[in-house]
Amino acid sequence: MSSSQTDRSADPSCDGIKKRLDIVVVGGSLGGLCTALALKSLPQRHRITILERNPTPLLHNQGAGIVAGGDTLGFFKRYDRCNRPLAVSSQRRQYLDKDGEIVHRENMVQNMTSWDLVYYILRADVDYVHSAYCDVPVRRKEEGEVRHLHGHTVTGIKDKGERVAVAYEMADGGGTMEADLVIGADGPNSTIRAAMHPEVQRTYAGYVALRGTVPENEVTPKTREAFSERFTFFHARGIQILAYLIPGESGTLEPGKRLINFVYYTNFPSASLDEPSNELAELMTDIDGVRHRITMPPGKTNPAAWEKQRKIAREKLPPPFAEIVRATKKPFVQAITDVIAPTNEFMDGKVVLIGDALAGFRPHTVASTSQAAFDAMILADMLEGKVSRKEWKKQTLAYARTIQKRGVNMGNRSQHEDLPLEEHVRDRNLASRPREEEVWPEWAVADVL
């Protein structure tokens, strides 16, 4: 058996948790929702409370794409009951030169979806939220209970012996609630991680991703063809851009109504995000003069700063990429960062980190949602006794550590080195390796064997 396959039998501690638990999930984005869905499906019918800091009942949609990797698809196959298609498939990967000519092709099917479609399907499955994205499944009598509480910002946790006290703030006060198990699904700036490991820093990688979408029927036929059913890339010194089709409004997959999604990595040297260079500060200061540290929300970009990027796009990118960057109406900016927790369980296993709270991957890995989905599935398997606690820890930490390091390597090579195309192709192919085929390196598992 390879070191990444899941051993379901060898450990005698593999007997699961029989009693009904009170579980608090901190964070109601994709990781928190995947966890709530997997845990409410367990036979113990756990009582689950999601605490999400966002003040409104639904998270604000950034409207951008997600590559639905093996674990994301596997998660939906196992738990989703909305029964609607999730993704647009891309049949091949291709690389363009500066003139827009295809210089390399690889046949490979990949599935592309949108963050909002995944979010709304999960909300329908988890707490029966109606939307234009999908039909809500019929309630099951035998499942666990889920409460979704928005406007609850978790501020800290305290070990109470058998249980954990979770403190939260609300606009009109706050309080604490106790849980048998607390899941930190609160993203790359995790409060739960900070409570356990205040020394862990989220650091800037020296470049940003300019992101956006364009309706496929609003571009020239040549550009539409360049991105239809294809995952297309361009590399130049200090630049990487990629694009693919994603579902359109309300998750439609209808040809003509889908969106072309791009991710355009470009260097903005700066010692840190707290003391940004003049160029980075200009890019991250919005139309109202407010400085954003990590994400500039869609539609807020300062037109003067964005106009500079449109001009650079015309000079430096192949014509189809330049066209979509220049055509996007609501660009947003994401500073690329690195963060990873040293471990993922605390307070004798009563507190667990998952998804971006455990390890924030660089987007080149296209694995953030898959990590969240995998962490949710294997946590449910561990609680049910299908996987031992030791095996759960090994698989989740090895995945987090290996892919996080791979993302740093891929990003640094792409943005800060001048490599021949074969090297970029090799890195991209490595990032597509299914998790089940990974052989975790010794350094990633040494402390959990």
Ligand X SMILES: Cc1cc2nc3c(=O)[nH]c(=O)nc-3n(C[C@H](O)[C@H](O)[C@H](O)COP(=O)(O)OP(=O)(O)OC[C@H]3O[C@@H](n4cnc5c(N)ncnc54)[C@H](O)[C@@H]3O)c2cc1C
Residues of this chain that interact with ligand X (CB under 6 A) are 26-32, 51-54, 59-60, 62, 64, 66, 115, 153-154, 185-188, 191, 355-357, 368-369, 372
Tell me the C-alpha distance between 203 and 118, whole Å: 28
Least separation, in Å, of the C-beta of 172 and ligand X?
Answer: 16
Distances in Å between the alpha carbon of 16 and those of 60, 158, 272, 381? Answer: 36, 24, 44, 8
Sign of the dihedral defined by the CA atoms of residues 225, 227, 232, 236, in that order: positive
Q: Toward ligand X, which CB reaches closer, 27 or 411? A: 27
Least separation, in Å, of the C-beta of 63 and ligand X?
Answer: 7
Tell me the C-alpha distance between 309 and 315, whole Å: 10
Tell me the C-alpha distance between 22 and 147, whole Å: 11
Least separation, in Å, of the C-beta of 402 and ligand X?
Answer: 17
Q: Toward ligand X, which CB reaches closer, 14 or 379? A: 379
Least separation, in Å, of the C-beta of 75 and ligand X?
Answer: 11
Residue with tokens 């890019």: 283
Which secondary structure element, helix H or strand E, spans residue 115, and what is its range? helix 115-127
Q: Toward ligand X, which CB reaches closer, 297 or 441? A: 297
Q: Toward ligand X, which CB reaches closer, 269 or 297? A: 297
- How far does CA 258 lie from the centroid of its chain? 21
Q: Toward ligand X, which CB reaches closer, 14 or 124? A: 124
Tell me the C-alpha distance between 46 and 89, whole Å: 36
Tell me the C-alpha distance between 356 and 368, whole Å: 7
Q: Comparing C-alpha atoms, which of 340, 305, 309, 335 is closest to residue 324? A: 309
Q: Toward ligand X, which CB reaches closer, 51 or 214? A: 51
Least separation, in Å, of the C-beta of 123 and ligand X?
Answer: 12
Q: Toward ligand X, which CB reaches closer, 56 or 278? A: 56
Q: Which two tokens stand for residue 164?
A: 């954990």
Tally the C-alpha atoms within 13 A of residue 73's C-alpha that lie toward its C-beta: 14
Q: Toward ligand X, which CB reaches closer, 169 or 282? A: 169
Q: Toward ligand X, which CB reaches closer, 94 or 371? A: 371
Least separation, in Å, of the C-beta of 372 and ligand X?
Answer: 4
Identify the three-state secondary structure at position 236: strand
Using CB atoms within 10 Å of the CB of residue 381, give its burial: 0 to 12 exposed, 13 to 18 middle, 19+ buried: buried
Least separation, in Å, of the C-beta of 66 and ligand X?
Answer: 5
At residue 124, what are phi and psi to the nearest 5 degrees? -65, -40
Please, what is the angle between helix 368-384 and helix 30-40, to 10°? 20
Least separation, in Å, of the C-beta of 65 and ligand X?
Answer: 6
Least separation, in Å, of the C-beta of 278 and ligand X?
Answer: 28
Q: Which two tokens stand for residue 211?
A: 């992101």
Tally the C-alpha atoms within 13 A of residue 352's C-alpha that lie toward its C-beta: 27
